[in-house]
Each structure stands twice: as structure tokens, then as C-alpha cells.
Amino acid sequence: MEETKANTKKGAATDTDFDYSVIDEILTRHGAQERAIIAILQEAQERYRYLPAELFLYLSQKMKVSEARLYSVATFYENFSLEPKGKYVIKICDGTACHVRKSIPILERIRSDLGLSSEVVTTEDLGFTVETVSCLGACGLAPVITVNDKVYPTMTPGKANELIEMLKEELKGGNNANDNA
């Protein structure tokens, strides 16, 4: 591919043109071989918060594997996303321990506070993505949510509201305190 930049789709998680040099660096680190597909896709997703469509054709050409093979890996593993995710990815546990300790009212409060639903999981400004998961492995702390993998135990709808308001303020102020929590 001659061109090194392409415009991202509307709604993409980045505010800049798609920069293939980032992908080239990832390929250099991992080697452009089929055995490195998962590691390459993981690092690309860390960078963009999802796997942009532009990535697949480019990787296919560079790695000499079919786009179908790349898509099959990306769609097989639940942790990969083909849709843009928000800066803050909130996961609400709905496993047995969390469910019986009232995780659903927490989920409903968070969705309400962010104007989301079961069909619309990411805010338009790409500030937040809300997902439910079967288990976060912290049953003794139930009900539990995570924000960018940071665990928030014994959550209540009120605590969830306070957390969302704090994160909204961080978004406004550009504070990155929770980015890699």
C-alpha cells in the first residue's frame, strides 16, 4: 500500500488520520508472521481502543495472510472489538454473586446517567462504553464494576452515579488519572 495515511471512519476512536506507521512499529516488534496475529491485534486495539477496518487490509498485505483469517481471529475472541469504544470502558459484572447483590440497578443507573441502552453501548462523544460481563472474578467484592480494568467493589447505584460524575469531570478537564487504571 503506497499511501501511509487514510482518514478514519466517522466515529473512530482517534481524532487524527489513520497512521499506518503505528501499525508498522507493532509489526516490527512482533514480526509480520501469522503466529503473531493475536499479539498484533491486541496491541493495535490498545492503541485505537478497537480494531479499525483500515487495519485488516493493511495487515493482510504486510503479513501475507488473508483478511478473512484476520477477521476470524478478531471475531472469535470476545476481547476484540470492531466498533469504537469509549475512553472509559465500564464493565458491570452480572455473574451470580453480583446479580443476587443487585448489579442490574447499578447497570440501569449507569446507562441512565450516560444516556445509553442495551442497544447503544458507547456514548456519541466516545467518552464511555458500558458492557456487561458474566464474571469479573471478584465475587467476594460483589457487586463489582471495572473502569478500564480498575476494580470498584461493593458498588451501589449511588456510588456508580458518583463515579460517573467524577469520570465526566475528568473528560472535561483532560485528566487522564483513570486511563491505565
Q: What is the pLDDT of residues 16-73, one digit of tens each?
A: 477 899 999 999 999 999 999 999 999 999 999 899 999 999 999 999 999 999 999 9
3-state secondary structure of 25: helix
Domain count, the chain: 2
Query: What is the extent of the structural domain holding 44?
Result: 5-76
23 with 59, same domain? yes
Q: Is-above-0.85 flag for pTM?
A: no
At 133, which CATH number? Answer: 3.40.30.10
Q: CA 41 to CA 136: how far, in whole Å?
A: 23
Q: Is 36 a domain residue?
A: yes
Average pLDDT score over the chain? 88
Q: Give the pLDDT confidence score for residue 134 in this predicted structure.
A: 92
- Quick one: pLDDT band at residue 175, thresholds 50, 70, 90? low
| Closest to 47 (Cα-Cα) out of 25, 32, 28 | 25
Shared domain for 70 and 23, answered yes or no, is: yes
Q: Alpha helix locations (H) across 49-180?
A: 53-63, 67-76, 96-100, 103-114, 157-173
Same domain, yes or no: 96 and 62:
no
The domain boundary residue, chosen from 33, 56, 76: 76
Last residue of a domain, one of 47, 76, 105: 76
pLDDT at residue 10 is higher than 80: no
- Report if residue 138 sits inside a domain: yes
